[in-house]
Amino acid sequence: MHVLNHPLIDDEMTRLRDPDCPPPEFRRRVRRIASLMVPAVTADVPVAPVPCVTPLEEATGSRLEREFLLAPVLRAGLGFLDGFLDLIPQASVAHIGLARNEETLLPEPYYLKHPPVLENFTIILLDPMLATGGSAIEAVARLRKAGGRFFRFACLVAAPEGVAAFETACPDVPVFAAALDRCLNDRGYILPGLGDAGDRLFGTSP
């Protein structure tokens, strides 16, 4: 579990939590935080040495060994996607539709679209909220079933309960969070959190 303590991220997160932050500003800030997270989330991906030629001499450079697959969990993961694509424009994208049942708090799958072969991608699962962990665990399970092998998970806000559940279910998947919050409330919302990320991104708050 990596909590990305950084002044720029912390400042953005504080503004994002404010209930008066309207959807256009919320989207902009989520996108900016996502971009700020990219260097940490990708810091240890494998590279291979390659020969390169400069205008002055021959040298040794490095190339990424694997392609990236960004995997946003719908809907809220879409808000996170553009900030990652801004810095990794060559990435492929897999969409995973999961809706958390507000009674049971269990994820209900409704959509999945990914490239036909997943074995050789570094897969970055994207979802702003890690609450009970059910959605992230289900998303990894579905992509594993389809052949995915190399995962990491980026979120904005994590609850300790979700981190524990995710680490138990997916011990090989590192988690990167912009903030680790206190706990869940009795409706499965993160405290202090930022409310319903999907609703705040897309202007569907009740």
Per-residue tokens: 5: 């303590």
CB atoms within 10 A of CB 173: 18
CB atoms within 10 A of CB 35: 16
Task: Please give the torsion angle defined by the CA atoms of residues 189, 192, 198 and 202, in that order, rounded to the nearest 10 degrees.
Answer: 140
Smallest distance, Å, CB 60 to ligand PRP?
A: 42
Using the rule CB under 6 A, is 175 a contact of ligand PRP?
Answer: no
What is the SS3 assignment for 56? coil
Using the rule CB under 6 A, is 122 a contact of ligand PRP?
Answer: no
Per-residue tokens: 63: 């190339």
- Cβ distance to ligand PRP smaller for residue 122 or 132: 132
Q: Which of 72, 83, 148, 162 is close enough to bind ligand PRP by CB under 6 A?
A: 162
Binding to ligand URA, residues 126-145 (CB under 6 A): 129, 131
Cα 87–chain centre separation: 14
Partner whose footprint covers residue 190, from ligand URA, ligand PRP, none (CB < 5 to 8 Å by kind) = ligand URA
Using the rule CB under 6 A, is 4 a contact of ligand URA?
Answer: no
Collect all residues with Cβ–Cβ distance below 8 Å to 20 and sequence separation of at least 6: none
What is the SS3 assignment for 190? strand
Binding to ligand URA, residues 20-79 (CB under 6 A): 76
Using the rule CB under 6 A, is 73 a contact of ligand PRP?
Answer: yes
Using the rule CB under 6 A, is 189 a contact of ligand URA?
Answer: yes
Smallest distance, Å, CB 172 to ligand URA?
A: 24
Q: Which residues bind ligand URA (CB under 6 A)?
A: 76, 129, 131, 188-190, 193, 196-198
